[in-house]
Amino acid sequence: MTRTTTSGRPSRTMSHNQTGPAHGGDLAAARALFPDAPEPWIDLSTGINPVPYPVGELPLSVFHRLPSPADQEALEAAARSAYGASETSQVVAAPGTQALIELLPRLWTAKRVAILGPTYAEHAHAWRKAGHDVVEVTRLSEADAEIVVVVNPNNPDGRVIDRPSLLAEAAARAGEGGWLVVDEAFADFEPAESLAPVLPPNAVVLRSFGKTYGLAGIRLGFAIAKPDMAAELRARMGPWAVAGPAIELGRRALSDRDWLADAASARAADADWLDALLHPVLGSALGGTRLFRCYRSPAAPAVFDRLGRAGIWVRRFEHDRELLRFGLPASQSEWSRLTRTVGDGARSPG
Amino acid sequence: MTRTTTSGRPSRTMSHNQTGPAHGGDLAAARALFPDAPEPWIDLSTGINPVPYPVGELPLSVFHRLPSPADQEALEAAARSAYGASETSQVVAAPGTQALIELLPRLWTAKRVAILGPTYAEHAHAWRKAGHDVVEVTRLSEADAEIVVVVNPNNPDGRVIDRPSLLAEAAARAGEGGWLVVDEAFADFEPAESLAPVLPPNAVVLRSFGKTYGLAGIRLGFAIAKPDMAAELRARMGPWAVAGPAIELGRRALSDRDWLADAASARAADADWLDALLHPVLGSALGGTRLFRCYRSPAAPAVFDRLGRAGIWVRRFEHDRELLRFGLPASQSEWSRLTRTVGDGARSPG
């Protein structure tokens, strides 16, 4: 548990925080584990859209000058419309959802926090770092806590909690000063159960830009919250929190509904294809979204190993070695390499 | 004073924080004040280098993928070298110095904080938001506080505190758990008194990237600190805090000593020229750096007004209406418009 002391330098206990949860996208780890694998690696370890929104030309001004309040307001208006946030909510841009995941736990002290898991590990890590009492629960009904955190759809298994259940969780905590945090990082293609249009006063919704639009490097995410909470988040971040290129690209992309619809169709087809390709070796998908698929199989460790030796990096999990998460290949050549490698395995398992 | 409550929603007192200090670069304010001024406005209200480091081509990967630890390490190594930080210190990249200014006060509770002023107003604002007892002092010898904040060279007047005085301040607080924070936002062209090479254990140095390199929009700044403090800052920011384009441009620019040397000469010539141009109307410069000049004169309000009516926006200050800060014109046409406007005023004052 990390706390700052009330005198002197920050507590020495902080040093353990440098080692956070493992993540997809770490090809250095891949190369260390499979030093003889062929290059280039195919990175299927993330849930980032492999076909990014076109970056196009960016005016020099977005690099040169400080972003203006008007720039950020235009971005937030585009996000409000894209996410269907109600007029009584505010949409607050941040330099990546991770920044909000780090910031939210600092708004309270010593709460009981329940996280619906297993899920994206940064939530539990951030609440624990801020000194809260965190438990992971596997059902919402077990969440005996003041603050409940739900990733919806869930990462890695794609489990979706329906909107009425989420509203009930928020309502149950409203009288006691409790809060519901819903991380909708993967809801852009599956918005049916999003709380954005019906946000309760004691809920915060997080939306990620980079995954759906394939622009994770620009660092852009949003909180949707009622005005008091939105004001607190803005105050904590201070001015110019979001970079000029992120504001410009975010505004363009979030206003482009045709691109989103086309990407939704294309990624759904990719996901179906991936399920069909992996069925002979890993069985039916446990779940997922249009940007990643999750499989549980006793064959998972052998498949992870075979893919790794072939230079294909997928996501495994400490808590369950029979689980694998696959992102989508980026190109025909990546699909071909994956198909060949899986086919070899199907003929000669293990 | 803002605090989060230990139960329920964050305190309602937070709402006043939405209104922070005034800043340069706000052309919406300029247009509101001088609605009849000719467009385009010439913005001399910031200290951002008007001649940016060339952005050039950026690979798609810096937008598409999450920045890797190796990317950030390469950036921080370039920054370490550029700033001359000692091997016993760590250089921590952040999404803009402002993010660090917001973050630092959250590492302690209820300290007495002295800020050497008048100076960049976000420091006092951030420490007050975090609940500290903040006083502004005009001499270091008056700083009877556990934490001392110095902007060096100072903004807006360019006052420089020498290194021995800063080291003495840190040493005086070392035994009592006190800290010295030195914001070296404008030290790149004037590094002689920088604490980066001789950092005491209880000091944090802040360095800004965007001003010197004219790339304020990408949001990049650094803390230089000993390992414990550096680890705490990294833990508070979490992974992927700095955007891919900022990492790439920062690494390139901070490795380019020729560009820095040329820019230092060119901006020094600009600053001299500005002083000469304004001398007839505002007298000798009170001080400044190679990126901005500061003048105190009874004529300041009239000069501000004349420039504003001509579409030239300079920085004035609530605390002293006789003070004006000028950034550097970006082009020959901006120099010409400024020269004409000032010349008209010199012939017909007020």
For residue A91, pLDDT over 80 is answered with: yes
Looking at the partner chain, which of A20, A98, A216 has a beta carbon nearest the beta carbon of B65? A216
pLDDT at A10: 41
B146-203: pLDDT as tens digits: 999 999 999 999 999 999 999 999 999 998 889 999 999 999 999 999 999 999 999 9
Looking at the partner chain, which of B2, B55, B95 has a beta carbon nearest the beta carbon of A63? B55
A209-234: pLDDT as tens digits: 999 999 999 999 999 999 999 999 99
| Closest residue on chain A to B239 (Cα) | A98
- Cβ-contact A150, A181 below 8 angstroms: yes
Q: Please report residues of B whose CB lies closer than 8 A to that of A60.
A: 52, 55
The distance of A292 to chain B (nearest Cα, Å) reads 15
Q: Please report residues of A whose CB lies closer than 8 A to that of B243.
A: 95, 217-219, 243, 245-246
pLDDT at B347: 56
Q: Which two tokens stand for residue A205?
A: 């919704």
pLDDT at A63: 98
A111-152: pLDDT as tens digits: 999 999 999 999 999 999 999 999 999 999 999 999 999 999
Q: Please report residues of A whose CB lies closer than 8 A to that of B2.
A: 235
Residue ranges of alpha helices (H) inside chain B are 27-33, 60-64, 69-83, 97-103, 122-129, 163-174, 227-237, 244-254, 257-282, 300-309, 332-347
Q: Please report residues of B whose CB lies closer than 8 A to that of A43.
A: 65
Read off the pLDDT of each residue in B96-115 and give the average, rounded to a whole number: 97
Q: Please report residues of B whose CB lies closer than 8 A to that of A90.
A: none
Is B241–A210 a contact, with Cβ atoms under 8 angstroms apart? no
Q: Please report residues of B whose CB lies closer than 8 A to that of A12.
A: 228
| Closest residue on chain A to B110 (Cα) | A6
Looking at the partner chain, which of A10, A27, A98 has a beta carbon nearest the beta carbon of B107? A10
DSSP class of A317: E
The residue written with tokens 């901005």 in the block is B292
Q: Which two tokens stand for residue A72?
A: 């950020």
Q: Please report residues of A whose CB lies closer than 8 A to that of B98.
A: 238-241
Is A177–B7 a contact, with Cβ atoms under 8 angstroms apart? yes
Is B98–A177 a contact, with Cβ atoms under 8 angstroms apart? no
pLDDT at A344: 74
DSSP B159-181: ----HHHHHHHHHHHHTTT-EEE
pLDDT band at A159 (very low <50, low <70, confident <90, very high): very high
The distance of A176 to chain B (nearest Cα, Å) reads 7
Choose among A191, A197, A190: nearest CA to A290: A190
Is B240–A219 a contact, with Cβ atoms under 8 angstroms apart? yes
For residue B11, pLDDT over 60 is answered with: no
Average pLDDT, chain A: 93
Q: Which two tokens stand for residue B288?
A: 């400044």
The distance of B88 to chain A (nearest Cα, Å) reads 16
Question: By the CB < 8 Å criterion, does A274 face chain B?
Answer: no
Is B66–A249 a contact, with Cβ atoms under 8 angstroms apart? no
**How many residues comprise chain A?**
350
Is B231–A6 a contact, with Cβ atoms under 8 angstroms apart? no
Q: Which two tokens stand for residue A146?
A: 């003041």
pLDDT at A93: 98
Looking at the partner chain, which of B2, B68, B218 has a beta carbon nearest the beta carbon of A235? B2
Q: Specify which residues A207 forms β-bridges with.
A: A222
For residue B345, pLDDT over 80 is answered with: no
Query: Which of residues 284 through 343 in chain B touch A, CB cutoff 8 A?
Result: none
Contacts by residues A258-266 (CB-CB < 8 Å, ≥ 24 positions apart): A259/A53, A260/A82, A260/A188, A260/A212, A263/A49, A263/A51, A263/A189, A263/A212, A264/A189, A264/A290, A266/A51
What values do phi and psi take at B288, rounded to 5?
Answer: 145, -160
For residue A349, pLDDT over 60 is answered with: no
Average pLDDT, chain B: 93
Is A25–B66 a contact, with Cβ atoms under 8 angstroms apart? yes
| Closest residue on chain B to A238 (Cα) | B102
**Separation in Å, CA B97 to CA A53, A241, B71, B78, B161:** 29, 10, 19, 17, 20
Query: Which of residues 72 through 131 in chain A touch B, CB cutoff 8 A?
Result: 95-96, 98-99, 101-102, 106-110, 122, 126, 129
Question: By the CB < 8 Å criterion, does B33 face chain A?
Answer: no
Question: By the CB < 8 Å criterion, does A13 face chain B?
Answer: no
pLDDT band at B346 (very low <50, low <70, confident <90, very high): low
The distance of B109 to chain A (nearest Cα, Å) reads 5
Read off the pLDDT of each residue in A33-62 and give the average, rounded to a whole number: 97
For residue B212, pLDDT over 50 is answered with: yes
Whole-number Å distance between alpha carbons of B81 and B125: 32
Q: Model's pTM, two decimal places?
A: 0.93
Q: Which two tokens stand for residue A296?
A: 């549980």
Looking at the partner chain, which of B18, B55, B243 has a beta carbon nearest the beta carbon of A246? B243
pLDDT at B176: 84
Query: Which of residues 56 through 75 in chain B touch A, CB cutoff 8 A?
Result: 60-70
The distance of B99 to chain A (nearest Cα, Å) reads 7
pLDDT at B1: 31
- Cβ-contact A246, B27 below 8 angstroms: no
pLDDT at B303: 97
Read off the pLDDT of each residue in A338-342 and give the average, rounded to a whole number: 96
Is A61–B241 a contact, with Cβ atoms under 8 angstroms apart? no
Residues 6+ apart with CB under 8 A from A297: A281, A282, A283, A303, A322, A324
Whole-number Å distance between alpha carbons of A292 and A44: 9
Is B52–A64 a contact, with Cβ atoms under 8 angstroms apart? yes
